[in-house]
Structure 1
């Protein structure tokens, strides 16, 4: 996929993820409207399998990978939801996933990543050092790097939420 991302890219991402993810609710809460003095709609992506919108992004990324790259597996550096999303998507598609987090990362995030089936590597003092570990694993194991933001398929996956909002809002 090329930059910039087009509406057609978002439609394609939606088609790829639809077999795995249902549309999430868009709700209005009168008390919230009153509190902020405006009409507010809340998109409940917390209803997705990982309790976060990152399931969209990572599934879009994984379903766009050629079979040869899926077979090699993917690796990412993260502090949480991106890793859980990748782990969940990997389980759905049979793709091995390795997630690198810094030492001292949130134990609940680590448990979610492991719980969805990823190999978790705790290394480095911070996110940047975890990225270095992930990049090393790309070289050593031949894994595909799954960047959390700098990937057109990831961004198109995130944009599927906006497409749903446009359809659901009245």
Structure 2
């Protein structure tokens, strides 16, 4: 360990000892999730990819660790009065679940628009949920004010040394299982997860690289650390890391210990999420897929190295998940919408179906449009959604249709 790193670690409010103490607190109450090598993802990326399945916690989120560590430190009087928190979902569930196990009343403020699955799961764990605030920051302000008025202890989602120490237990488990990891790739929202993991990893293995990942739509920590001013806007699939203002404590730790931060696009996150389902048969939310998205986007950088990725959560709305998977099928040329302008007379639909059948394309949906169209009265718009094996099969199918003198346009590819 260099003197610079030693000095950096010594000046931080969280130490390896704090993380080891947190590990003893959560042991037996939080799942020690599996840490497995993905042979297929390793083959695809050219790296050795290890996956930490935090999406398999009881609440499907790593947030349980920090929440339990913080709640366990409350005094008897603080437990009696209760706690309040603000969260877009995962911190809410971690606090709600472990507060209930400790018989601590919990009130959670969740921003308007939080995925329904996260709201309902939080209520199911016994917390009082208040949907308020347009953003997470708004909800946090409301929660703080409410806690002050009611005498409740505010449980911060990331900018708290005990929360950070709890999240750092993930790195202890990863390095205990695979000591020769070269890189940890960790999603960043407010920075609690990467801060705790960086403290543990850099203390135990000073030469390990720690790389953070943020959604390109919300590059808050990236801007702060790199001195950029990229805009933050829009709805990201990775709402769990859509934080506009990273923590003061976490920012200092990230600045001291994290080697780099990279950004990933929405399409890259969707692709990674789809791969985790199809290859690993593991459901993750957008934030949980961010690490793999970064590896896929920067394959040359990580090639030949041993990578530890955290699948940080699995709380994704089923309707949204369906949309992501369908969009990915379209991008791969496996699901496409074909549009035909045909004469409105018997046999025309049969001709189209016959060509598609001979080409081996599966018909998913068919629709005719005679009324709401600018075509002549004797014409009809025919739309057919088809399933093909891959893009080359789609191209062969289109060629067969045109060879049969059918006027076809390919829509959503």
Q: TM-score range by the shorter chain?
A: over 0.9
How far apart are 1:51 and its partner, in Å? 0.6
Structure 2: how far apart are the matches of 1:127 and 1:166?
33
How far apart are 1:133 and its partner, in Å? 1.2
Residue 38 of structure 2, aligned match among 16, 29, 43: 29
Cα RMSD over matched residues? 1.4
Structure ranking higher on relative contact order (CA contacts 8 Å, 6+ apart): 1
Query: Which residue in 2 is equivalent to 1:145?
Result: 154
How far apart are 1:101 and its partner, in Å? 1.0
How far apart are 1:103 and its partner, in Å? 2.1
How far apart are 1:105 and its partner, in Å? 2.0
Structure 1: how far apart are the matches of 2:44 and 2:82?
47
Structure 1: how far apart are the matches of 2:71 and 2:12?
18
Query: Which residue in 1 is equivalent to 2:66?
Result: 57
Structure 1: how far apart are the matches of 2:96 and 2:109?
12
Query: Which residue in 2 is equivalent to 1:114?
Result: 123
Whether the 8 Å CA contact 1:102–1:123 is kept in 2: the answer is yes
Greater helix share, 1 or 2?
Answer: 1
Query: Is there any run of 5+ residues in structure 2 with no aligned partner, and where?
Result: 1-10, 180-413
How far apart are 1:108 and its partner, in Å? 1.2
Comparing 131-140 with 157-166, which one deviates more in the overlay?
Answer: 131-140
How far apart are 1:19 and its partner, in Å? 3.0
2:20 paired with 1:11: yes
How far apart are 1:74 and its partner, in Å? 0.8
How far apart are 1:67 and its partner, in Å? 2.0
> 1:114-140 CA distances to partner (integer Å, 9 max, x unpaired)?
111110001122222211210111121
Whether the 8 Å CA contact 1:17–1:63 is kept in 2: the answer is no
Query: Which residue in 2 is equivalent to 1:93?
Result: 102
Whether the 8 Å CA contact 1:75–1:144 is kept in 2: the answer is yes
Distance 1:105 1:22, change over 3 A: closer
Query: Which residue in 1 is equivalent to 2:79?
Result: 70
Whether the 8 Å CA contact 1:76–1:99 is kept in 2: the answer is yes
How far apart are 1:3 and its partner, in Å? 4.6
Structure 1: how far apart are the matches of 2:106 and 2:24?
23
Q: May I ask how many residue pairs the two structures share in their alignment?
A: 169
Q: Which protein has the larger Cα radius of gyration, Structure 1 or Structure 2?
A: 2
Query: Is there any run of 5+ residues in structure 1 with no aligned partner, and where?
Result: none
TM-score, normalisation: structure 2: 0.40
Whether the 8 Å CA contact 1:76–1:145 is kept in 2: the answer is yes
Query: Which residue in 2 is equivalent to 1:164?
Result: 173
Per the alignment, in what secondary structure is the counterpart of residue 60 of structure 2? coil
Greater strand share, 1 or 2?
Answer: 2
Query: Which residue in 2 is equivalent to 1:48?
Result: 57
Whether the 8 Å CA contact 1:3–1:152 is kept in 2: the answer is no
Residue 124 of structure 1, aligned match among 118, 133, 152: 133
Structure 1: how far apart are the matches of 2:31 and 2:91?
19
TM-score, normalisation: structure 1: 0.94
